[in-house]
Amino acid sequence: MNKEAVQITTKSRLSSEERQGEIIRVAVELAAEKGVDSVTTQDMAAAMHLTQGAIFRHFATKDDIWVAVIEWIRERLMKILDKAAANATDPLDAIERMFLAHIAFISKHPAIPRLLFSELLHKKNSKLHQLIQGIISGYEAKITGLLEAGKAQFMVPADLDTKSAAVLYIGMIQGLVMQSSIFGGKRSLQQQAEKTFPIYLYGIKEITSVV
Amino acid sequence: MNKEAVQITTKSRLSSEERQGEIIRVAVELAAEKGVDSVTTQDMAAAMHLTQGAIFRHFATKDDIWVAVIEWIRERLMKILDKAAANATDPLDAIERMFLAHIAFISKHPAIPRLLFSELLHKKNSKLHQLIQGIISGYEAKITGLLEAGKAQFMVPADLDTKSAAVLYIGMIQGLVMQSSIFGGKRSLQQQAEKTFPIYLYGIKEITSVV
DNA sequence: TAAGAAAGTATTCGATTACTTACTAGTGCA
DNA sequence: TGCACTAGTAAGTAATCGAATACTTTCTTA
């Protein structure tokens, strides 16, 4: 933070690459504060003490900024999830570690679920839609794969519908996010997450019959 | 549909009450099509073959329209949930019936989750925020109450964290909605819901220890 | 049936938005 | 050191939005 602050105050002109990174950072920050679709290019410029027109030196359109933001999220999220899964002892442990890592990531950047589930980004821009769809489906496939691996190790019943279990997994994250979003930071997201996950875990472990 | 269509084409002028109802109906419809925050008063007016200014004969501000929409949803949803729970044989059966009724309701009106979870409505208008918060927390309380009743009847272990279980319940609905939203109507929402619910059910039933 | 109430229209306004353009000045490299 | 390149500025544009205004048409009712 110190380093960046010094850079900002001393160095008035940044390279386009540096500036693009800062625009992304500011966009994420503002999206967390006031919602994705109410962030204007003027807001971004003001947040980094720049004129609004300067934004368009580095991005052709505003949509391009959101594309870059989503790509930034994808890279960071995937790296964090892979890192969390790498330390796991078994598939179910991997799922739990990924879950907690994801929750921690969201706690740091509250705008992320807002961005991924924003209707604005889904409806208007098809590239954004495809990008987000890719992230979600890739995530889902990762969970499904771990659950199938769990089946192979007899940690999870063979008749578990892994696809549905993955949907429930992602829904659990969404539910927790909405919970903390609506009711403020009263109850910490992480605390609630740790209490909710065991219920999910028992759901996928103790199933004994197909419906 | 026939009756309404006839009314629309034959009767050009409606009472303010009737018109308010139609504005709400059109707003919900348009929100499902193009997203809550991109619905303009011009869109609404065009959808009901009226001029834009006419909207403001019946609502003072646009926000007031969304307030009315949320209140409409609350009434309808609560009625449907109560009706579903009334036929239940036990608390867990009530939860399942409410879940399926909710999913059916959403299938008919895809805009509803978009509205309840819209960031636009959360950030800008505090009255809307309170309204939505009331719906969600009331819903959550209803589920929690049923789970506590399940405890009393020994259908659910006494050490279940009912609050967390309720969060997971709502998250399950959100997850299913997002699933069908992102990946289109390929797999029907109801079909997927029926496969996902058993996993949740086992999660809350088979828990045997606290973490 | 006359008159007032109320629904709808046509038009306009001010604010906001993403984006453009002509110009200025800081930076890095030869 | 000087100069070309380019980040940044300042001003402006076209489009869009919610909302207000003055006026017209329809409905109700006394």
Which tens digit of pLDDT belongs to each residue from A87-110?
A: 999 999 999 999 999 999 999 998
Instruction: Give how far A6 is from chain B: nearest CA, Å.
Output: 33
- Does the pLDDT of residue B12 top 90, yes or no? no
Query: Is residue B91 within 8 Å of B150, Cβ to Cβ?
Result: yes
50-69 on B, CB < 7 Å from strand D: 52-53, 56, 60-63
Rounded Cα–Cα distance for residues B209 and A202 (Å): 10
As a whole-number percent, the residues of chain B with pLDDT over 70 amount to: 89
**Could you tell me if B117 lies within 8 Å of chain A, comparing CB atoms?**
yes
Contact indicator for A127, A67 with CB cutoff of 8 Å: yes
Task: Bin B63: left if φ > 0, else alpha if -120 < ψ < 50, else beta.
Answer: alpha
Report chain D positions within 7 A of protein CB atoms: 6-12, 16-22, 26-27
Residues whose CB is less than 8 angstroms from the CB of residue A155 and which lie 6 or more positions away in sequence, other chains included: A90, A91, A92, A205
- Evaluate whether B62 touches B80 at the Cβ level (below 8 Å): no
Give, in Å, how far the C1' of D29 lies from the CA of B66: 35
- By the CB < 8 Å criterion, does A114 face chain B? yes
Following DSSP, what letter does each residue of A51-69 receive, concatenated? -HHHHTTT-SSHHHHHHHH
Which residue's structure tokens are 């058993």?
Answer: B198
**Tokens 């979600």 correspond to what residue?**
A136
Note whether B37 contacts A120, CB cutoff 8 Å. yes
- Residue B107: is its pLDDT beyond 80? yes
For residues A16 and B83, what is the distance between their CA atoms, to the nearest angstrom? 60
Please indicate if any CB of chain A lies within 8 Å of the CB of B138: no
In this predicted structure, the answer to whether residue B65 has a pLDDT above a threshold of 60 is yes
Residue of B nearest to A193 (CA): B164
Dihedral (CA of B127, B130, B136, B139) sign: negative
Nearest to A41 by CA among A62, A10, A66: A62
The tens digit of pLDDT for each residue in B18-63 reads 899 999 999 999 999 888 989 999 999 999 999 999 999 999 999 9
Q: What is the DSSP letter of A186?
A: S
| Nearest chain B alpha carbon to A177 | B171
On whether any CB of chain A is under 8 Å from the CB of B134, the answer is no
Residue type, A109: H
d(CA B178, CA B113): 9
* Residues in B touching A200 (Cβ below 8 Å): 168, 203
The Cβ of residue B75 has, within 10 Å, a number of other Cβ atoms equal to 10
Q: Which of residues 155-194 of B touch A (CB under 8 A)?
A: 160-161, 163-165, 167-176, 178-179, 181-183, 192, 194
Say how many C-beta atoms besides its own lie within 10 A of residue B121's C-beta: 24
User: pLDDT at position B15, please?
Assistant: 80
Residue-wise pLDDT tens digits, B147-196: 999 999 999 999 999 999 999 999 999 889 888 887 776 568 999 999 99
Mean pLDDT of B70-82: 96
Please list every residue in chain A whose beta carbon sits closer than 8 Å to the beta carbon of residue B133.
182-183
Which residues between 141 and 160 in chain A have a beta carbon less than 8 angstroms from any beta carbon of chain B?
160
Minimum CA–CA partner of A159 in chain B: B199
Paired tokens of A24: 């992304």
Element (H, E) at A148: helix A126-152
Q: Is A171–B167 a contact, with Cβ atoms under 8 angstroms apart?
A: no
pTM score: 0.88
